[in-house]
Structures are given as C-alpha cells and as structure tokens.
Chains A and B, each alone.
Chain A
Amino acid sequence: MENKNTKKIRISVSTKPSGLMECGGNSNYCNENPKGGKR
C-alpha cells in the first residue's frame, strides 16, 4: 500500500525458513546465485 506523503511502500518481509539449521548454510545467503538451485 502506497503512502502518498512519504512516497514509501509497506513491505512485509518474507518469513520463509532461513535454511539455517543449528549450523550450515542458507542458499540465499551463502550462494552468489540467490536462487540456489532449480526446483
């Protein structure tokens, strides 16, 4: 939804799993290619 006064729009940040277990990597974070793989 656009806020006309500030020219900003509201974004809800995605809550999808981080991919970070107790340790290890998240493809979005670790890999240069943000898609991480074709599904």
Chain B
Amino acid sequence: MVISRDINGIEIDIDTSCGGDILLPLEDVEKMRVEGKNPSEITDIMNYIYDKKTAYLPLMGILELCSNCNFKCPFCFINTKEERKRFSKKLLYFSEIKNDIDWLIDRGLLYCIITGGEALLHPEFVDIYKYLKNKGVIITVFSNLSNLTNDLVEVFKENPPLKIEATIYGFEDEIYYKTTGQNSFSAQKFRENVLTLKNNGITVICKTPINTLNFQDFEKIRFWCNESNVPYYFSEQIFETYDGENMEKYKTNQEIQKYILHERVGSIEMSDIQKIKKCFSCGAGKYGFFISHNYMLRPCMSFFDIEEANFLIKKDNISEAFSQMEKFINQYKDLKLSDCLGCEAYDICKVCAIDEIKKINGQSGGYTEKCKKNMDILNFLRK
C-alpha cells in the first residue's frame, strides 16, 4: 500500500509494504543533492523538509511506550529506585494517544522510534505500531527481543519496520543474566530471535551498552554479529538514572573505555570547523521530540532532568504542549554556548543546549570539565 502525504509542501509517497521505501519528487531529490544532502539519510530528508519552512516541525519522535521492563539491568537509566520497588504500570495507552498521533501525522510526523522500558511488553504495542505504520510513518523499534512471539514476527513481516535495534547484553548466559538482572531469557534464545527476524526479512541491528558487567563478552558479541551478518554498534557511555542516581560505578576502567572508544569511533583528525556552538542547532531544535511513558513532552530524551523543558500532554490537547515546547526552544535557539571556545573538537563535541540551560538555571556550575574531556578524547583518538 502506498500512502501519499504532503509534508510541509513536499509530496512524499510511503510504501508501507517496505520498511523504509519512499517516493520523493525528482525535483526535491536533485535539490537535496545540490545542497549536499543524502536523499537516503533520514536526518538529511528531515533537514531538507525543515529548511523549506525553518520553523519547528514535529517530523521525528521517540515514543517511550512504557517504563516497565522484564529485565532489571542495574545500570539502566530507567531502572530508578522507584521502579526497583515495584513493577511500574505507567503506559501510553492507545486510546489516550490516538488523537495525539493523528495531530502529529497531520503536522508531518515521518519517522518514529518506539521504545520503553521494553516496548514489546506494552499490551497495545501491535495496535500502536500498525496504526503509525498504516498512516505512513517510518518506524524503528528498540527491544530486548525477550517478548518476540511468532505472532509478532508475522506483524513485522506484514508491516515491516525500517529496523529493529535489539540490545545484546552479553554472549555467555552467565554474563547475560548478570547484566540483565534476570535468568529466564537466555543469550542463546536472544540470538535465535535475532536470526528469526533476519531470516524473515526483517532488518535487525544489534547494539551493546558496554559496562563492568559485560565487557568480557564484547569481542564474542562482535564476532557473532559479524559471522551472522548482523550490523552491530556499541557504546561505553553510561548515563545517570531518571531520578539522578550516579551509575559511574558501572563504567569500565579507563584503559578499556579507551579501547572501546577507539573501536567505536576509529581515529579522527582535528576538525576543520572551529566555531562556537549554539543552542538547538540540532534535530531537537528543528524537528525532533520525545514523549515519555507518563505523557511528558520534551525536546529530546536527555532533557529529562530539566523541569522547564518538560510539558505535560493533557488529554486531546497535545498542541498546547508543543506550543509551550516551541516557545521554550525559541527562548534559547541560536544562543551561543557561553563556555564554548570553538575548539578543534567540534566534530565530536556533545556539549549542547542541555549543558548551557543547566548552567543558566543553576543546575550545574558549567561544562568546562566536559570540554576538557572532549579534548582528551580527541587527543587520544588522534594518536
């Protein structure tokens, strides 16, 4: 089935029988190429659509369908003290968000990442997924695959996602169980489920958050993914939890971190772009948004601990939340990052509006330490 959409004046046909096949006007494809954009990169497509208006458009959203997960990974940012005490039932219910989804699609929603908690545990996952898919939204699903059933495989076969990003926490069962805080779903079963998806023509990508619990299995995981022809990526980064608990204790030692970082990024040269960074020059300032399991809207998931960046979506009034968020973004948009020196680490720099806003509102004392770490990384990778 082909869904014809008009997104910011551009006629885009979405072929829902494929995961990510779209038909773009030849004229627009040629313009994209002239502008140095790659028509098959989703971020380039969204930047091109945004550039036609240069006002915020909700083109890409992350939907955190639920906070609950059958895994209890000790280092997970969503595994808060509150969550550890009880199995949370916080969910985005389809009946509650259906009108919101319609509103978003009317305004251009083109690409959606569905995540959790564990998204496949959501009792209405299939309804929400198929609804988005049949409206012409391109979808990526994040999952641990523990809840993958034959019925779900059939759903994905008939309504293919762009891809499923599956987290592989370990290779040996002992490591896998320790890392995931459960022992009812094995590493072997995970790998079988990855291959089931792949053998059914569903694009699947594996990824690993590498930490003190599972770094021993990194090479085994990478080898298996290579052998199985499954794309793989990984990160050594660990994030604090939603309720502010520091998870640094799960960070591997510096030697391992550097090894992982080098394997992830490769060697880089210093940037030929040296300019002061500005707030919201990223996707969040143009077309991105995040909706949490408790109906909070924010520019991206990393704004979770900045109160003024979170907007409650009241029933059937998503437009108000977006209007508030747009005002918030515009308040800071193009503001220069006050601690930024415009250094040669520009290309790898992840300092952003979040750091500047936290400095302004007194949540942090600045981010010069973060800048110093960027330079350390650059110097290490340059060697």
Contact = CB atoms under 8 A, between A and B. Distances in A.
Contacts of B163: 15
B213 interface: no
Interface stretch (B40-48, B314-322, B356-364): B40-48
19 contacts: A6-B25, A11-B29, A12-B20, A13-B19, A13-B162, A14-B38, A14-B41, A15-B203, A15-B205, A17-B205, A17-B233, A20-B62, A22-B142, A24-B239, A29-B288, A32-B277, A34-B41, A37-B265, A39-B265
Given A9-B24, A23-B301, 8 more contacts: A11-B23, A11-B40, A13-B19, A15-B205, A21-B237, A24-B239, A34-B41, A37-B271
Interface string B259-279: 000000111110101000110
A3 B207 CA distance: 37
A8 to B, nearest CB: 4
Contacts of A38: 268-269, 271, 347
Interface residues of A, number: 36
Interface string B208-242: 01000000000000000000000101010101000
Nearest to B27: A7
B76 interface: yes
B273 A33 contact: yes
Given A8-B24, A11-B40, A38-B269, A30 B350 contact: yes
Interface of B: 11, 13, 15, 18-27, 29, 38-45, 47, 60, 62, 76-78, 113, 115, 138, 140, 142, 162-163, 165, 167, 203, 205, 207, 209, 231, 233, 235, 237, 239, 265-269, 271, 273, 277-278, 281-284, 288, 301-302, 346-350, 352
Contact of A8 (B13, B78, B115, B167): B13
Contact of B347 (A10, A15, A26, A33): A33
B302 A23 contact: yes
B347 A31 contact: yes
Given A9-B29, A15-B205, A21-B235, A35 B23 contact: no
B231 A17 contact: yes
Contact of A18 (B113, B209, B267): B113
